[in-house]
Structure 1
Amino acid sequence: MPVIWTIGYEQATVAGVMAALNRAGVDLLADVRALPLSRRPGFSKSALAANAREAGVEYRHFKALGTPADGRAAARRHDHAGLARIYAAQLDLPEAVIAGAQLAELARERKVALLCYERAASECHRTLLRKAVLPDFEVVDLLPDEAG
């Protein structure tokens, strides 16, 4: 059975995320945020790509697999049913179907981790993504190292 890893960077440092990825042997970080921006230092797209490269992990952004604005608003309201409905519609878009197929192909060949913000995978669209696009994968939800 293929494996997919996931990780959220909420309350984490870049060093803590990279340490967890390295410990798991992940070699490709799949950023599944629609907007790869962050107020947390080191987690915006360019900085994250550079930090990942420095840690020996390839970085790729999958914009089409991110949550649209109304889905992010639902998540902030803790409206998981709303998030699930909105995100399911996102995954039906042609660009998301293509990106999902690319992600699945990569994940069958490499050790890939899905990255988003929420620390708890159960509260994040990355779990919805995994269930929809990678249903036959075993999942390992990583937590960033505390000391990082």
Structure 2
Amino acid sequence: MNAIRKQPVYHRQRLLLYFLECLPAKQTDKRRGLSDSDLQKLLLLYCKDVGSSHYDFVPWDYGGYSFQCAYDLNLLEKRGWIKRQDNKLILNQKIDNEHWAIESEERKMVRRWIPQYPWRGEELIAQTYRVHPYYALHSKMKGRLLNTEDLTRVDNSLGTVKNGEVILFTLGYEGIHFETYINKLISNRVAVLCDVRYNPFSQKFGFSSSMLLQVLPRLGIEYRHFPELGIVSKKRQSLHSKADYESLFDDYCDNLANRKAGLRKLRQVVESKRRVALTCFEANHQYCHRHCISDFFENNYHYQVEHL
């Protein structure tokens, strides 16, 4: 079986197996396996405690949640590394002889760490809320699991913003987790995400419009696509130097007059929703056309612009 089973490529996927390995394997042991919820909560606590960047989490219906983790668990199940039984995730076979597990320092770290958190179910959920109140922001259970003082900490976890302040944010998703990106929107109280990619599809997990449309509204953030403000793919094929980018953006700015309808529509969104973010791929806004759009609004309408 091992010879034909596809190996987990990423360290983050191996981490999930290390977690499940630490739990009782006997069929008669009631502690056997982990529910999806318990694994997500333990993983959140682990990543925060040890400073791991394997996964990030968003405040979801029942607390901190990683979409990437859920995807990886399904992948590991399809490949035969884990199975689901009685609503629990269970390691399907021993990993002692796998070359990537034998000398893994993280495997040793997980074994030392996991006994610190014996709670499961609602006790574990409540513990994550108390330690990391931000992740309880959208919880359906916080009113039942937390006391008044804890709930106040949840409400205050985002800080305050000036009412009515108009800010045009820009951000890219290059090099960061989907969940990290979403947290930037939440922490800056973004009301609408305006996607200025010509084609809102990405091979990077989470960043196609279909996923954004599925996730953002449940967090109180509206998603809108502005293809008329995008740059067609053929114009982005030969960008090898800073001069190439500058030439592309000079051409884009020179032809903004041809995009008046899109700019007008975007301005209406900003004036109405007040805290709006422009998004595209590049991490550095100077290498993305979104800075041309934000510069236009800053120069012509004196909007405050913040590049996240």
Instruction: Say whether the fold is shared (TM-score over 0.5).
Output: yes
| Partner residue in 2 for 1:6 | 170
| Partner residue in 2 for 1:140 | 306
| Partner residue in 1 for 2:292 | 128
How much has 1:69 moved relative to structure 2?
2.7
- The 5-angstrom pairing of residues 76-95 of structure 1 reads 77-78=241-242, 79-93=244-258
**What secondary structure is seen at the aligned counterpart in 1 of 2:237?**
helix
Of 259, 265, 277, 1:102 maps to 265
| Partner residue in 2 for 1:47 | 211
**What secondary structure is seen at the aligned counterpart in 1 of 2:263?**
helix
- Corresponding letter in the other structure for 1:139: V
Q: Is the 8 A contact 1:33 1:62 kept in 2?
A: yes
How much has 1:88 moved relative to structure 2?
2.3
Distance 1:53 1:76, change over 3 A: farther
Verify: 1:57 aligned to 2:221, yes or no. Answer: yes
Q: Is the 8 A contact 1:29 1:112 kept in 2?
A: yes
How much has 1:132 moved relative to structure 2?
2.2
Q: Is the 8 A contact 2:278 2:290 kept in 1?
A: yes
**Sequence identity, in percent?**
29
Q: State how far apart, in whole Å, the 2-side matches of 1:106 and 1:112 are.
A: 8
- Corresponding letter in the other structure for 2:288: C
Q: State how far apart, in whole Å, the 1-side matches of 2:255 and 2:238 are.
A: 14
Verify: 1:30 aligned to 2:30, yes or no. Answer: no
How much has 1:108 moved relative to structure 2?
1.8
Indicate the larger mover: 57-66 or 101-110: 101-110
1:44-92 CA-partner distances (Å, limit 9, x unpaired): 1111211212322100000000112344235454312211133125523
**What secondary structure is seen at the aligned counterpart in 2 of 1:92?**
helix
Q: Is the 8 A contact 2:297 2:303 kept in 1?
A: no
Q: State how far apart, in whole Å, the 1-side matches of 2:256 and 2:184 are.
A: 28
Q: Is the 8 A contact 2:168 2:270 kept in 1?
A: yes
1:91-146 CA-partner distances (Å, limit 9, x unpaired): 232xx21111110121122111001100111211000111124432111111xxxx
Q: State how far apart, in whole Å, the 1-side matches of 2:239 and 2:170 are.
A: 18
Q: State how far apart, in whole Å, the 2-side matches of 1:75 and 1:117 are.
A: 14
Q: State how far apart, in whole Å, the 2-side matches of 1:77 and 1:51 are.
A: 35
| Partner residue in 1 for 2:236 | 72
Taking structure 2 as the reference length, the TM-score comes to: 0.43
**Looking at both structures, which has the greater relative contact order when contacts are Cα pairs under 8 Å and sequence separation is at least 6?**
1
Unmatched runs of 5 consecutive residues or more in structure 1: 143-148
Distance 1:76 1:87, change over 3 A: farther
Root mean square deviation, CA, Å: 1.8
Q: State how far apart, in whole Å, the 1-side matches of 2:250 and 2:181 are.
A: 29
Q: How many residues align?
A: 140
**What secondary structure is seen at the aligned counterpart in 2 of 1:36?**
coil
In terms of Rg, which structure is larger? Answer: 2
- Corresponding letter in the other structure for 1:80: Y
